[in-house]
Amino acid sequence: MTKKILILSGSPRKQGNSDLLCDEFMRGALEAGHTVEKIRVQERKVAYCTACYACRDTGNCAIKDDMAEIMEKMIACDVMVLASPVYFYSIDAQLKAVIDRSVCRWTEVKNKEMYYIMTAADGEKESMDTNRTVYLCIL
């Protein structure tokens, strides 16, 4: 069965370690016959959530930027891959903004296979723990 895969690369560096791993995931998925779209969040305009809570009334974010399109893709995909380097023991700001902004329609992001790609300069496994916790919270 062909799956529709969305990769959200949070890496601020094009061809950085996280971004390269996204490309490898995409290569394998394409070879397996799936459809894949990779979005480099850094190249999109995604503002930070302002906690205005307009989404409570309308179901849509009041901020007009690329997030509405990204949200539709998050809802429509079968498989979602998130990727982030570890920054100060957490997820990077680019991908965190996407996660925060998805609050208005997060309940529509369901029945997905999900994967999380993490990279870190620190060689200690424990350095990934907080980042992993952020990911587990969004499941």
Tokens 């990727």 locate to 83
| Whole-number Å distance between alpha carbons of 110 and 34 | 19
SS3 36: strand
Tokens 């901020």 locate to 63
CATH classification of the domain holding 30: 3.40.50.360
Query: What pLDDT, on a 0 to 100 scale, did the predictor assign at position 19?
Result: 93
Q: What is the domain extent for residue 110? A: 4-138
* Nearest of 112, 88, 94, 105 to residue 39 by alpha carbon: 94
**Total tally of structural domains belonging to the chain:** 1
Span 70-81, pLDDT tens digits:
999 999 999 999
Average pLDDT of span 109-120: 90
| Whole-number Å distance between alpha carbons of 3 and 138 | 21
Average pLDDT of span 1-18: 92
Query: What pLDDT, on a 0 to 100 scale, did the predictor assign at position 136?
Result: 63
> Per-residue b/e over 41-68, b at no fewer than 16 CB within 10 Å?
bbebebeebeeeeebeeeeebebeebbe
Query: What pLDDT, on a 0 to 100 scale, did the predictor assign at position 6?
Result: 98
Span 44-64, pLDDT tens digits:
999 999 999 998 888 889 999
| Whole-number Å distance between alpha carbons of 80 and 68 | 16
